[in-house]
């Protein structure tokens, strides 16, 4: 039942696609915030509105991140600005997090 409720909230169709990604958090301009943090991960799916990333660390909700998306058989990665919309722990044993990010500029 919960799965169908989540599906209804989605604005865009998700397409399964595995790509490596390096996410770098961008701290607010205000003083006192920690420096940016790099979080490697793997894109699980992509949509017109954003991506779902699996990572070993959670990405803080509402944080802006610069993502470097590696494409197979291409020697360069694609940078994109995104914002973390939600984060959830996946499983009970290993520390894996599922993070929903939306594209900021398109």
pLDDT above 70: residue 104: yes
Residue 9: the pLDDT is 61
pLDDT tens-digit profile of 7-24? 446 678 887 788 889 999
- What domain count does the chain have? 1
**C-beta of residue 21 within 8 angstroms of C-beta of residue 42:** yes
What percent of the chain is modeled with pLDDT above 90? 50
**C-beta of residue 43 within 8 angstroms of C-beta of residue 53:** yes
Identify the CATH number of the domain in which residue 26 sits: 2.40.10.220
Rounded-to-integer distance, Cα 86 and Cα 89, Å: 11
pLDDT tens-digit profile of 20-52? 899 999 877 665 666 788 999 999 999 999 999
Residue 4: the pLDDT is 44
pLDDT tens-digit profile of 69-103? 888 888 998 899 999 999 999 887 777 999 999 99
């Amino acid at each position: 039942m919960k799965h169908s409720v989540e599906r209804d909230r989605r604005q865009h169709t998700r397409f399964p696609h595995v790509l490596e990604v390096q996410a770098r958090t961008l701290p607010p301009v205000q003083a006192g915030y920690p420096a940016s943090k790099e979080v490697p991960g793997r894109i699980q799916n992509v949509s017109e509105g954003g991506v779902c990333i699996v990572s070993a660390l959670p990405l803080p909700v509402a944080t802006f991140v610069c993502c470097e998306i590696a494409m197979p058989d291409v020697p360069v990665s694609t940078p994109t600005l995104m914002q973390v919309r939600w984060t959830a722990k996946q499983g009970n044993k290993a520390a894996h997090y599922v993070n929903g990010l939306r594209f900021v500029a398109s």
